Structure 1
Amino acid sequence: MAPFSLMTSSVSWLAKSFSVFSCTNTLARCTSVLPTAYVNPVKCLTSQASGPPKRPLNGYLRYVLQQQPAMYRRIPEIKTVDIIRKIAQQWRMLSPEQKQPFQEASLRAREQFKVDFQRYQALLTPAQLQQQALEKRQRMAKRKAICKKRELTELGKPKRNRSPFNIYVSEHFQEARGTTTPAKMKSLVEDWRNRLSHQKKVYTQLAEDDKIRYKNEMTSWEDHMMEIGREDLIREQTLSNKKKVSAKTSEVKKETKKAKAKVVKNTTPTVK
């Protein structure tokens, strides 16, 4: 099972967005395994008339959406995050027999989804299929980029160096003119353009210092990545430079070894 924090956040998002979908199927009541107060019909995500079928919920999410209304009625002032946390605790305490109806409903919905999706695909033109494949690749690329960024953050990759303007914005954003972020940014851009060269010089120097900081931290970080076997996270230029240095060092060692062997050979007395 996924970590609790990740599980609750994803469930919260799905629970909030659930109301915007068209719902037709209901989940059978589980009176034999759950108290009556906790049993409510749950509608499942189904296909829209003008779009592709929606992927069905798994057993756990079905249980969450079933328990939410009763939880809201019992504790009207409770927050959604707290509801999800309580329901997740209840789910973990259920026996396999109590979870079975939700999981079986999920399996049935998954089979129906496969049929509906094949029927939907058959109605698409070649151009629509091509567009669909393109959108899928874009979604996968975006998801991969997000995962990689999260991994780099967890591994402690240094933050990139800031430009003079970035430093200026961070120092003057609070007192900038405007009530919204776009308005504040617009005023900061105008102020930056109107500043004289000697007024920008201090930020240019700070940016140079930050650039040195980033370079030193990246060198240490990439050395550490090399030690733990994560060469895939090291920049190509850094790898190329390391290979050049390694090749040069290896060549020097070979030349030194040859020179020593030659010296030993010349100093060895000839046996007559």
Structure 2
Amino acid sequence: MAAQNFLLRSCLLWNGGGKLILNNRFNHIIVPQQPFLGLKTDSQSTVVIPKKPKKPLTGYFKFIVEKRPILLKENPTVPNTEAIKILAAQWRELAPSEKTKYEQEALQLRQQYDQELLDYNAHLTPEQEEKIKEIESDAKEEKKKRKLKKEMKEMGKPLKPLTSFGLFAQPHLIGQRNIIEVITDLKKKWAEMPEVEKEQYHVQYLKHKDAYDKELKKWEQKMINMGKSHLVRAKTLNVKESSKKKNPQ
């Protein structure tokens, strides 16, 4: 349901231009498409990145993976979070000899992994090493952005208003299962719609945008007062800093 809601809102925030593209990570539409950054292949250049050895599970997680299907089969109504708590308690109460068995298996796999990783790194070319650094740096940056967006949501950042196209499309999308097919058809209708008919949606958008800008300004000031300036847009901070210099107290 969350993924479907995200997909719907992504469509409604689309500005009516460019291409609608399906993102395979969340199965939703985004504009424009971002290149997939993985360690297996690189379609953006001639550098081929070999598959990296997979880090093995610890003894604890090997126990969880082994026992979880059994627990859920015997207790199908138990939520996943509760199942993990139950298994964690079982691990703590596990006989030392049983724990040692899992930990020894994990240790052997870890030693094998360490050797495979050494071999993997030893056979990388300088170009591959540079590309892997670039990919890992991009991945860290994306993780940082996701963390920031999550914090913004938790702090109640106002949602962007629907675009003119979003206002037009909204009533046609609610309750639809095949969002991709419907949005593609709506995109075509929007492109063919006379500007005079689009005007009503533009007017609504500008009204909502004005209200959003005011709410966002209040929210950003609140974040600054709370010491959370990292959640505030750089241009807002620059304006305030410039104002301080012009009007020193």
Whichever residue aligns with residue 95 of structure 1, its letter is: R
Give the aligned partner of residue 239 of structure 1.
237
Give the aligned partner of residue 55 of structure 2.
55
- Greater helix content: 1
Give the percent of matched residue pairs that are identical in Structure 1 and Structure 2. Answer: 22
Post-superposition CA distance 1:92-125 (Å, at most 9, x none) = 2443664743345434433432222011111222
Q: Which has the higher contact order (CA 8 A, sep 6+)?
A: 2
- For residues 56 and 233 of structure 1, do their structure 2 counterparts lie closer, same or farther at Cα, with a shift above 3 Å needed? same
TM-superposed CA distance for 1:191, in Å, is 1.6
TM-superposed CA distance for 1:193, in Å, is 2.2
1:68 and 1:83 in contact (8 A); partners too: no
Post-superposition CA distance 1:220-256 (Å, at most 9, x none) = 1111111111222221211121122223332xx6xxx
Give the aligned partner of residue 207 of structure 1.
205
Q: SS state of the match for residue 54, structure 1?
A: coil
- For residues 229 and 103 of structure 1, do their structure 2 counterparts lie closer, same or farther at Cα, with a shift above 3 Å needed? farther
1:256-267 mapped onto 2 (5 Å cutoff) = none
Give the aligned partner of residue 190 of structure 2.
192
1:71 and 1:83 in contact (8 A); partners too: no
1:171-190 mapped onto 2 (5 Å cutoff) = 171-174=171-174, 180-190=178-188
Give the aligned partner of residue 4 of structure 1.
none
2:158 and 2:212 in contact (8 A); partners too: yes
CA RMSD of aligned residues (A): 2.8
- For residues 166 and 98 of structure 1, do their structure 2 counterparts lie closer, same or farther at Cα, with a shift above 3 Å needed? farther
Query: Aligned equivalents of 2:132 and 2:212: distance in 1?
Result: 41
Counterpart check, 1:95 vs 2:92:
yes
1:32-111 mapped onto 2 (5 Å cutoff) = 51-71=51-71, 74=74, 78=76, 82=79, 85-95=82-92, 98=95, 100-101=99-100, 102-103=102-103, 105-111=105-111
Whichever residue aligns with residue 225 of structure 2, its letter is: E
Counterpart check, 1:150 vs 2:150:
yes
Whichever residue aligns with residue 130 of structure 2, its letter is: Q
Query: Aligned equivalents of 1:209 and 1:93: distance in 2?
Result: 57
- For residues 247 and 129 of structure 1, do their structure 2 counterparts lie closer, same or farther at Cα, with a shift above 3 Å needed? closer
1:52 and 1:120 in contact (8 A); partners too: yes
- For residues 90 and 232 of structure 1, do their structure 2 counterparts lie closer, same or farther at Cα, with a shift above 3 Å needed? closer
1:58 and 1:106 in contact (8 A); partners too: yes
- For residues 58 and 156 of structure 1, do their structure 2 counterparts lie closer, same or farther at Cα, with a shift above 3 Å needed? farther
Q: SS state of the match for residue 95, structure 1?
A: helix
- For residues 157 and 127 of structure 1, do their structure 2 counterparts lie closer, same or farther at Cα, with a shift above 3 Å needed? same
Larger Rg computed on CA atoms:
1
Whichever residue aligns with residue 181 of structure 1, its letter is: I
2:157 and 2:219 in contact (8 A); partners too: yes
